[in-house]
Structure 1
Amino acid sequence: MRQSPRQRPRPRLPPPGAARRAAPGPGRAGKPPPRPSPRRHPPRRWCRRAPPTPPPPQTRPSRRHGTAVRLAGLLFLGVWAHHQDHGLWPILARQWDAKWYLGIADHGYAREVGTEGSNLAFFPLYPVLVKAVAAVTPGTRATTGLCLAVAASFVAAWGVFAVADRLYGRRVGVLATVLWAAFPVGLVQWMGYTESLFTACAAWSLYAVLTRRWLWAGTLAVLAGLTRPTGIAVAAAVTVAALLSLRRGFSGRALTAALLAPLGWCGYLAWVGLRVGRWDGYFAEQRVWSNEMDGGRRTLREFRQLLVRDPTPHLFLLLVTLVLVVSVALFALSARDRQPLPLLVFTGVTLLIVLTSGGVYFPRARYLLPAFPLLLPLALRLSVATRRHRALVLTAAVAGSVYWGAHMALVWPGAP
């Protein structure tokens, strides 16, 4: 019996980039074949040798969309700050962590642990760049630091787009870039902080792993390890990927990348130990800042306090809690979508560090800003959603980021 059009099974769509398209089914003559949906899963054998010279990812989509989101947030913050008689420049360039980094650029690092003004908990790449660039350019070091952060945000957005575009196609790349720019605490991308620089190093290191550019991957992992404590997550991703690739055949470059990747993070910890005269100098400094690892007890205590005991919790702390919970769910989706192992290692180690830290609770949403692979499951699902639903989600994300950025800077009394 001939099947009716309603009963006839729909043909499977080929992955993006396939040389041929599915032929139109019976009864559909004259109609163009349906557009292929974005690839939901990357190839299982992600570490197979890539083409010698893969085409470079485009910069325009990532630059245009990310800039639009950040300019909207900056405009809203400027209007709100003006109504409260606050200057926009000090908020962006000189407050909180930015002040510490500028102090390192001006006076260097302390020589003892636990003294007032001890700054050994802050990693060196960003203040070193601020000092070096300010020496050959006009303007203050605060101006230089902010300009470096903004420039790094463009490089980071390009890297986010490059990774997503390589795995799932251009549409997912653009959506991932918008979602990263619209992160609830995305304002720090254009502040004198290290998140933009670290995300740029992490994203391009992971892209280098996916394209088997091992020396670039290892070098960028070193720079990431010199930028933030979570640089060890980038080093772990590169090392695991490089060592696994050796099972398919020896490669001197892969082995070099595996050995090179942790040197930035380990090198700074060793330098701090030599500077203060004790092998655990960096960890002693972290104890002074009450930032030890406690296996997640502080996180669970904060959850219970905010969600059960406190009748009037601060809105910003509720936002941080929501970001942490959603991030865990997105990591589970990332594993279900079979993301490449380097991305899972990077986000998994980052989440582990953030959730098991016994330090202050309020900046933990910011700590997850560089973990952009967590956004890929959401970008992937938005890419196959209807245009209306996609517009609603993106509009809500951008509006939320604009508001929460200003709330974080002007209402929340602590650091972002």
Structure 2
Amino acid sequence: MADGLTTARPERERPRRPVRVRLLVQYRMVPWWLRVTVVYVLARIVTTGLLAAFARVQTQNSFTLASPHYLDFATIWDGRWYALIAQTGYPATLPIGTDGAVTENAWAFMPAYPFLVRGLMVATGAGYAVVAVTVSVLFGWGAALLFRRLVGRFLPEGTATFATVLFCVAPVSTMFQVAYAESMGVFLLTLALWLLVTRRFWWMLPVVVVLGFTRPTGLAIALTMSSYLVLRFVRRSSADPLSLRTAVPPAVVAVVAGLVGLAWPTIAWAVTGVPKAYTDTELAWRQSYIGRHELVPFAPWIQGFDWWFHEPAGGVLLVLVLAGFAGFLLMPAAQAIGPELRIWSASYFVYLLAVFFPQSSTWRILMPLFPMLAIVARPRWVTYRVAVVAVSIALQVAWMYFCWWINGYDWTPP
């Protein structure tokens, strides 16, 4: 005390947290859905910039004028088929070429996406391009949110978030913002897989039905559910028994998925009067490669690798692809994503082997294998993760150059 006054003691300063710790705390306070939304928006900004760059140098072609606007550029290729379906529906008579074979037509495309677009066009008065691209962007956003929830059941939080980053910047993630049904299909497939993992089988039924009329996945889901039941039977235990009561729901989903997988070919037959209307239409897209052939299950990949690489190199490469895929799904790191996602990936790949001819659309057709991104995301090294993102964006550029941008000879759609 001095002159009747007391001297206040200075308060002891609290130790400041390191900047990295403070940022981590603030990051964890942000809701997971907002983090995913930010990632998705940033990814779409990057892809929009790449598409705009290609559009600026795009010359006049059968779809657009030179240097088209984004919406025009985002609705080329199959986007024009979906526009035709949205505006006029499906033909009652199949177009026939001079060789007597069915030529390319709208029956190759499932109805759910273009009919949804048509309904929104009528409800809003907006044009096809605006509605179609908006629908794709919104379904892509929903798919990213669902994917984060799905892989979050198997992976640590940070790894699940990085897997979602890869999902948003994948080499063919352009599909999330163009007039294709892939975005809607991926959303519904992610929802179906989440319901499978959480064993909400009855809820899967409407999702599987709509999905089957969005993208041709019904037979692959039927194989998935059948394989799932076999695995449950083999691994049954007192902790996870398989009884008649627990087996019926997934069995019903398998049957319904199989029926959905056969429904669209049946509808095409009923409308056109041609029993093989759908398969003949699908085969039209590969005639420019290998000529006119009947669909023989599991022959297309042999034919495709022979066409692309010739024998014996084609056969050797095909064996390496098959062995590499199997090895990837069976390696120890893949165990982390659970059996359901691996069963789906294997089933879909088998389905592709049975019916799909590998060509320029292959990379887009492989999109439903997105659960495998959760395996790719597992290494936690910063350098690795930065490199994977950079490579993914670089591959977006490569995909746009070789498959989307119309550069000279129009050889086949993406």
Same fold (TM > 0.5): yes
Counterpart for residue 397 of structure 1: 392
Counterpart AA for 1:349: S
Distance 2:300 2:357 in 1: 11
Contact kept, 8 Å, 1:297 with 1:356, in 2: the verdict is: no
Counterpart AA for 2:403: M
Counterpart for residue 169 of structure 1: 156
Structure 2 CA distance for partners of 1:325 and 1:165, relative to 1, 3 Å? farther
Distance 1:327 1:374 in 2: 15
Counterpart AA for 1:297: I
Structure 1 residue 169 displacement after superposition: 2.6
Counterpart for residue 76 of structure 1: 50
Counterpart for residue 283 of structure 2: 287
Structure 1 residue 289 displacement after superposition: 3.6
2:365 alignment partner, one of 367, 390, 393: 367
Distance 1:112 1:260 in 2: 29
1:342 alignment partner, one of 340, 343, 354: 340
Counterpart for residue 118 of structure 1: 105
Deviations 1:84-140 (A, max 9, x none): 4421221102x1111111111111111233446631111111111111111111311
Counterpart for residue 207 of structure 1: 194
Distance 1:378 1:392 in 2: 12
Unaligned runs of 5+ in 1: 1-56, 310-320
Distance 1:79 1:281 in 2: 39
More helix by share: 2
Structure 1 residue 189 displacement after superposition: 1.9
Aligned length: 344
Counterpart AA for 1:185: V
Distance 2:74 2:264 in 1: 27
Structure 2 CA distance for partners of 1:92 and 1:295, relative to 1, 3 Å? closer
- Residue 71 of structure 2 is aligned to residue 89 of structure 1: yes
Contact kept, 8 Å, 1:153 with 1:197, in 2: the verdict is: yes
Structure 1 residue 325 displacement after superposition: 7.2
Counterpart for residue 5 of structure 2: none
In terms of mean alpha carbon deviation, does 277-286 or 100-109 score higher? Answer: 277-286
Counterpart for residue 306 of structure 2: 301
SS for the counterpart of 2:367 is coil
Deviations 1:34-63 (A, max 9, x none): xxxxxxxxxxxxxxxxxxxxxxx9423332
Please identify runs of 4+ aligned residues in structure 1 that moved more than 6 A: 306-309, 324-328
Distance 1:306 1:398 in 2: 33
Counterpart AA for 1:90: D
Distance 2:242 2:313 in 1: 52
1:388 alignment partner, one of 357, 377, 383: 383
Counterpart AA for 1:343: L
Structure 2 CA distance for partners of 1:407 and 1:69, relative to 1, 3 Å? farther
Q: Considering only aligned residues, what root-mean-square deviation do their CA atoms show, in Å? A: 3.1
Contact kept, 8 Å, 1:92 with 1:192, in 2: the verdict is: yes
Structure 2 CA distance for partners of 1:394 and 1:277, relative to 1, 3 Å? same
1:248 alignment partner, one of 233, 238, 242: 242
SS for the counterpart of 2:107 is coil
Structure 2 CA distance for partners of 1:145 and 1:58, relative to 1, 3 Å? same
Structure 2 CA distance for partners of 1:290 and 1:303, relative to 1, 3 Å? closer
SS for the counterpart of 1:136 is helix
Counterpart AA for 1:59: W
Counterpart AA for 1:228: R
Structure 2 CA distance for partners of 1:221 and 1:245, relative to 1, 3 Å? farther
Counterpart for residue 21 of structure 2: none
Counterpart for residue 255 of structure 2: 259
Distance 1:150 1:327 in 2: 33
Counterpart for residue 11 of structure 2: none
Counterpart for residue 224 of structure 1: 211
Contact kept, 8 Å, 2:300 with 2:357, in 1: the verdict is: no
Distance 1:297 1:117 in 2: 23
Contact kept, 8 Å, 1:134 with 1:141, in 2: the verdict is: yes
Structure 2 CA distance for partners of 1:152 and 1:341, relative to 1, 3 Å? same
Instruction: Give TM-score, length-normalised by structure 1.
Output: 0.73
Counterpart for residue 408 of structure 1: 403
- Residue 35 of structure 2 is aligned to residue 61 of structure 1: yes
Unaligned runs of 5+ in 2: 1-30, 59-65, 97-102, 234-240, 288-294
Structure 1 residue 259 displacement after superposition: 3.2
Structure 2 CA distance for partners of 1:305 and 1:158, relative to 1, 3 Å? farther
Contact kept, 8 Å, 2:360 with 2:403, in 1: the verdict is: no
Distance 1:406 1:69 in 2: 18
Structure 1 residue 303 displacement after superposition: 4.5
Structure 1 residue 331 displacement after superposition: 4.9
Contact kept, 8 Å, 1:104 with 1:119, in 2: the verdict is: yes
Structure 2 CA distance for partners of 1:193 and 1:349, relative to 1, 3 Å? same
